[in-house]
Amino acid sequence: MSEIYQSRGELTRNDIITAAYELFIKYGYHGTSMRAIASQANIALGGIYNHFASKEEIFVAVLDSYHPYHEILPILKSAAGETIEAFVRDAAESMINVLKRRPDFFNLMFIEFVEFNHTHLSKLFEKFLPDIVQLSENLAERRGNLRPIPLPLVIRAFIGLIFSYHLSENTFQGDMPLEFKENSQQYLVDIFLHGIIKD
Amino acid sequence: MSEIYQSRGELTRNDIITAAYELFIKYGYHGTSMRAIASQANIALGGIYNHFASKEEIFVAVLDSYHPYHEILPILKSAAGETIEAFVRDAAESMINVLKRRPDFFNLMFIEFVEFNHTHLSKLFEKFLPDIVQLSENLAERRGNLRPIPLPLVIRAFIGLIFSYHLSENTFQGDMPLEFKENSQQYLVDIFLHGIIKD
DNA sequence: CCTACCGATCGGTAGG
DNA sequence: CCTACCGATCGGTAGG
């Protein structure tokens, strides 16, 4: 009863989630021991089990806490721009900015793919779906003409764009020559909008 | 000295690589034990160390054996088509076909990202680079006009296209509604070539 | 290529 | 009766 809004228990729970997140993205799921999580969270190993029944339960909590959909969806929904082009550029810009603040998010996804066969992500995807559909309708309402491509495919291509940007910008940064990186965001969005061919 | 071209030792080595590959893509690197590999390869644990000095050395051998660049580069180099459009469609088609035969290849990549911080892939990338550059020069020589986009960015977008196709087609197959999948290859290539906007 | 084994560490649980 | 946690230890497995 004061300015403290989290109970002692909630604070410890959050400490565990934060600790686990930091270790998972560095060493992977199986590469991180419960002892390491405990020590990083400044509690005893046994103490973890007052908050989580198992290691996997911790991973699910980490995925939920650190998945950027919390931030991405509202931003994408409020993407501005009267024309399709402006709308897409704004949306891409926002998404890239969010992911810049969560450069390790993709590592979480990869762990999901490899070590859990994306069981948990599939559940998240179902939660997402209505928002994704709404977003694509927003896009279709902008001024300008879309080529006759089903909206779901437009979204898939957009996700591919973000992925491609991220992979080379973060994962392979340092590995690739400068020509691969200059103004890359602008160009990748440009290809998405107008393609590589001059009509 | 007969029809058998692999020595006994080479056969065992290959058994270990195959066994390890099957287990790695299922359970991840840290999720796979040396004992499991040994048993899958029908040898004793200690026997592995006659062929590999460490678990990581097995992973490198697996990555090298199962990385599809062996198949992809020659195919891409021989991609046909007089126009840019035909060339790109042919290249995308070939690449997707190769990856269909190696649906688990991306899992290997993810393991690399998460559990090795893509150390080994960076080395592979350096090996690749000259071929990639040559490929983009091939592209530029086709008949048709490219919009003024640096070739490296064109390649990045192309990789993003393949990635996006694969992710939704294999990783999330079954999780997504039908509208996300119909004719997706064709449409994704179409967006890459001409963009989403009608000019 | 195997049996036998090491120092250490694994995820999870005991009683208090 | 609850919460948050302890020191110690369980049965098995890790890479070597």
SS3 A165: helix
Measured between CB atoms, which of A113, A157, A165 is closest to B110?
A: A113
Whole-Å CA distances, A151 to A74, A95, A133, A135:
20, 19, 9, 10
The residue whose two tokens read 């002892």 is A35
Minimal C-alpha gap between A10 and chain B (Å): 29
Q: Chain B residues with CB inside 8 Å of A172's CB?
A: 118, 122, 125
Q: Quick one: pLDDT at residue A1?
A: 42
The pLDDT of residue A196 is 94
Q: What does the pLDDT read at residue A173?
A: 65
The reported pLDDT for the residue numbered B142 is 85
**Residue B85 near chain A (CB below 8 Å):** yes
- In Å, what is the separation between the CA of B35 and the C1' of C2? 14
> What number of CA atoms fall less than 13 Å from residue B112's CA on the CB side?
24
| Per-residue pLDDT tens listing for chain A (199 residues) | 445 467 777 888 999 999 999 999 888 888 899 999 998 999 989 899 999 999 999 999 998 888 877 787 787 777 778 899 999 999 899 888 888 888 788 888 888 877 777 777 777 777 777 887 777 788 888 878 899 998 888 988 998 898 888 877 776 666 667 776 778 899 999 999 999 998 7
Q: What is the structure's pLDDT at B187?
A: 94
> How close A2 gets to chain B, by Cα (Å)?
42
Q: Which residues of B touch A168 (CB under 8 A)?
A: 156
For residue A105, the chain B residues in CB contact (below 8 A) are: none
* Strand C within 7 A of B47 CB: yes
Mean pLDDT (whole number) for B55-80: 83
> Cβ distance B84 to B144 under 8 Å?
yes
Q: Mark which residues 141-160 of A lie under 8 Å from B by CB.
A: 144-147, 149-150, 152-157, 159-160
pLDDT band at B186 (very low <50, low <70, confident <90, very high): very high
**Number of residue pairs across A and B with CB atoms under 8 Å?**
202
Q: Which residue of B has its CA nearest to A143?
A: B197
Q: What is the pLDDT of residue A175?
A: 65
Average pLDDT, integer, range B19-35: 87
Does A130 lie at the interface with B, CB-CB under 8 angstroms?
A: no
Which nucleotide shows the minimum CA-to-C1' distance to residue A48? D5
Please name the nucleotide lying closest to B46, CA to C1': C2
Question: Is A180 in Cβ contact with B152 (below 8 Å)?
Answer: yes
pLDDT value for B2: 40
CA of B50 to C1' of C6 (A): 19
Report pLDDT digits (tens) over B76-134. Answer: 777 778 899 999 999 899 888 888 888 788 888 888 877 777 777 777 777 777 887 77
Instruction: Report the percentage of chain B scoring pLDDT > 70.
Output: 91
The chain-wide mean pLDDT, for chain B, equals 83
pLDDT at A174: 65
Give the mean pLDDT of B31-49.
89
Question: Cα separation of B107 and A126, whole Å?
Answer: 23
| pLDDT for residue A132 | 78
Residues 157 through 176 of chain A touching chain B, CB cutoff 8 Å: 157, 159-161, 163-165, 167-168, 171-172, 175-176
Report the distance from CA of residue B64 to the C1' of nucleotide C11 in Å, as an integer.
Answer: 33
Selected residues 96-125 of chain A with any CB under 8 Å from a CB in chain B? 106-107, 110-111, 113-115, 118, 121-122, 125
Evaluate if the CB of A57 falls below 7 Å from strand C. no
Per CB-CB distance under 8 Å, the chain A contacts of B22 are none
Report yes or no: A178 at the B interface, CB cutoff 8 Å. no
Does A45 contact chain B (CB < 8 Å)?
A: no
- DSSP collapsed to 3 states, chain B: CCCCCCCHHHHHHHHHHHHHHHHHHHHCCCCCCHHHHHHHCCCCHHHHCCCCCCHHHHHHHHHHHHCCHHHHHHHHHCCCCCEHHHHHHHHHHHHHHHHHHCCCHHHHHHHHHHHHCCHHHHHHHHHHHHHHHHHHHHHHHCECCECCCCHHHHHHHHHHHHHHHHHHHHHCCCCCCHHHCCCHHHHHHHHHHHCCECC
Query: Which of A8-12, B150-154, B192-196 is predicted with the least confidence, judged by mean pLDDT?
Result: A8-12
Kindly indicate the confidence band of residue B174, based on its pLDDT and cuts at 50, 70 and 90.
low
